[in-house]
């Protein structure tokens, strides 16, 4: 951020009076431009022990598999957002249920919320952001071709809970470790 979106003057980064974090502040009108994490909302579309994954048609991680999810929009609830993303990416209708994972990804300032979502029918197919949409059993999951760590963690918990048929909310932090390689540390929050 270089310019004030209110008046067009330049901004500087400093700690406002009474605050304890550096913010972007307009040098002319004085408006403070706060920047906060975004919510990504989505679901685990379920059908008889299988889950629906989408192969991404767009960057980042084009060609890799993911759960239907995307940025929560203004004016909608987290469940409405999850429903919308599932329609947009998989042309699939689900009944959004229990919040299943709540993960903070501080390295990219995102909060992921993934709900359970029983499919209402098998009439699904790729939306414009997907190359392919397919149901997978635990054995069929392409673990090495998953787009994001948060998807891998969610599916791991999901299939482990399925064995016991007892699903509970998992929340925690996924941090990317330093280095060029994609390596992560997941810390579960004790509930």
Question: Measured between alpha carbons, how far is 146 from 184 in angstroms, rounded to an integer?
Answer: 14
* Sole binder of its own copies in the list 48, 59, 74, 139 (CB under 8 A): 74
CA-based nearest residue to 171, from 149, 186, 185: 186
Show the tokens assigned to 9: 């003057």
Q: Which of residues 90-109 bind its own copies (CB under 8 A)?
A: 96-99, 102, 104, 106, 109
Contact region with its own copies (CB under 8 A), list: 30-38, 119-127, 136-144, 157-165: 30-38
Residues 6+ apart with CB under 8 A from 34: 23
Q: Kindly tell me which of 182 and 189 has the beta carbon lying closer to its own copies.
A: 189
> Site size for its own copies, by CB under 8 A?
47
* Sole binder of its own copies in the list 57, 78, 138, 162 (CB under 8 A): 78
Asked whether the bond before 60 is cis by omega within 30 degrees of 0, the reply is: yes
Question: According to the binding rule CB under 8 A, does residue 49 interact with its own copies?
Answer: no
Q: Which of residues 120-149 bind its own copies (CB under 8 A)?
A: 128
List residues bridging with 70 in a β-sheet. Answer: 41
Least distance to its own copies, CB of residue 38, Å:
5
> What sign has the CA pseudo-torsion 83, 84, 85, 86?
positive
Show the tokens assigned to 115: 């709900």
Q: Kindly tell me which of 8 and 63 has the beta carbon lying closer to its own copies.
A: 8
* Sole binder of its own copies in the list 8, 49, 63, 142 (CB under 8 A): 8
Helices and strands, number each (H, E), in the chain: 2, 12
CA-based nearest residue to 135, from 41, 63, 42, 55: 55
Task: List contacts with its own copies (CB under 8 A).
Answer: 1-8, 10-11, 18, 21, 33-39, 71-80, 96-99, 102, 104, 106, 109, 111, 113, 128, 169, 171-173, 189-191
């Amino acid at each position: 951020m270089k310019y004030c979106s209110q008046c067009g003057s330049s901004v500087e980064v400093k700690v406002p009076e009474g605050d304890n974090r550096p913010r972007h502040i307009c040098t002319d009108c004085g408006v403070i431009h706060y920047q906060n994490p975004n919510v990504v909302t989505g679901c685990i579309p379920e059908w008889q022990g299988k889950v629906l994954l989408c192969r991404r048609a767009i960057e980042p991680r084009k060609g890799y598999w993911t759960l239907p999810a995307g940025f929560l929009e203004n004016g909608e609830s987290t469940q409405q957002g999850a429903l919308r993303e599932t329609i947009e990416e998989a042309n699939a209708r689900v009944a959004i249920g229990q919040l299943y994972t709540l993960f903070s990804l501080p390295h990219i300032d995102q909060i992921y919320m993934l709900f359970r979502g029983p499919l209402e029918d098998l009439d699904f197919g790729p939306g414009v952001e997907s190359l392919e949409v397919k149901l997978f059993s635990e054995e069929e999951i392409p673990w090495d071709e998953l787009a994001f760590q948060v998807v891998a963690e969610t599916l791991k918990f999901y299939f482990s809970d399925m064995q016991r048929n007892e699903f509970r909310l998992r929340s925690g932090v996924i941090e990317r470790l330093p280095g060029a390689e994609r390596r992560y540390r997941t810390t579960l929050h004790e509930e």
